[in-house]
Amino acid sequence: MSLNATSSSPRRLSLLDKLISNADQALRTLVPGAASEHRPSPAQQRPHAELNDEEKRHAAGLMRINHTGEVCAQALYQGQALTAKLPEVRDAMEEAAREEVDHLVWCEKRIHELGSHTSRLNPLFYGLSFGIGAVAGKISDKVSLGFVAATEEQVCRHLSAHMTSLPTQDEKSKAVLLQMLEDEAKHATTALDAGGARFPLPVKLAMTGLSKVMTKTTYRI
Ligand SMILES: [Fe+2]
Ligand SMILES: [Fe+2]
């Protein structure tokens, strides 16, 4: 196959551009320290508190789950952007994707402050979520947006549970989760308002099953 300039080359180059851009985004998401935040971390304004080793391990495990959730969000938006049309909500989706980058960076910083590392399974979950996002976008914008809404609702449930599970004095992690909770709820509403499908219970249950696999593994690995 030749990439020489022909009448069909603009389409090929456009595909190549998309692939390069996606590879770049994947690396920014997966390589520690490669992404930059647009808003400062809410943790900065909260006081430092002493945590014992067990509390640190637990808080880092929860923040690792949330970080992987953000890795999945990046991949989902990228996969969706590749195939979905979304003419009316592209700006809103791009703003949501920017906020997800903030979440990713805040979680990663907090994990490092707690003396731990991000999940080694992130490339696997990135690939999986990218594929789901691309397939959903290919089916229709309604399904694609519905998937965003259902995912965000799931994330909100995790965040709320983690808020109560974190060590009481870990105000820094809680401040990060609180802002994320506000943003994710807004993303879910945006996706539904833009015409996202409300998924039936069996689909939601399948998503819950998948998210359980993610949370159980990334808490430790
Ligand atoms: Fe997020
Ligand atoms: Fe979100």
pLDDT digits (tens, 9 = 90+) for 59-71: 999 999 999 999 9
Residue 88 has pLDDT above 80, yes or no: no
What pLDDT, on the 0 to 100 scale, is given for residue 23?
A: 80
Residues around ligand 2, an ion, CB closer than 5 A? 184, 187
> Which among 128, 19, 174 has a CA at the least distance from the CA of 81?
19
Q: How far is the CA of 9 from the centre of ligand 2 (A)?
A: 36
What pLDDT, on the 0 to 100 scale, is given for residue 12?
A: 55
Give a three-class secondary structure readout of 71-119.
HHHHHHHHHHHHHCCCCCCHHHHHHHHHHHHHHHHHHHHHHHHCCCCCC
pLDDT digits (tens, 9 = 90+) for 108-132: 999 999 999 999 999 999 998 899 8
Q: For the whole model, what pTM was predicted?
A: 0.84
DSSP H stretches of helix in the chain? 9-30, 53-83, 90-113, 122-139, 141-165, 171-193, 201-218
Residue 217 has pLDDT above 70, yes or no: yes
The set of residues, in sequence order, having a beta carbon less than 8 Å from that of 171 and lying 6+ positions away, is: 46, 47, 49
Longest dimension (CA), the chain: 65
What pLDDT, on the 0 to 100 scale, is given for residue 110?
A: 96
Ligand with smallest separation from the Cα of 66: 1
Q: How far is the CA of 150 from the centre of ligand 1 (A)?
A: 13
Q: How far is the CA of 69 from the centre of ligand 2 (A)?
A: 9
What pLDDT, on the 0 to 100 scale, is given for residue 3?
A: 37
Q: Are 9 and 3 in contact (CB under 8 A)?
A: yes
pLDDT digits (tens, 9 = 90+) for 4-60: 434 444 455 577 777 787 788 888 888 787 788 889 999 998 988 889 999 999 999
Q: How confident is the model at residue 154 (pLDDT cuts 50, 70, 90)?
A: confident
Q: How far is the CA of 164 from the centre of ligand 1 (A)?
A: 18
What pLDDT, on the 0 to 100 scale, is given for residue 147?
A: 85
pLDDT digits (tens, 9 = 90+) for 165-199: 999 999 999 999 999 999 999 999 988 888 888 87
**The domain defined by 14-40+60-218 carries CATH number 1.20.1260.10:** yes
**Assigned token pair, 41:** 């971390």
Q: How confident is the model at residue 104 (pLDDT cuts 50, 70, 90)?
A: very high
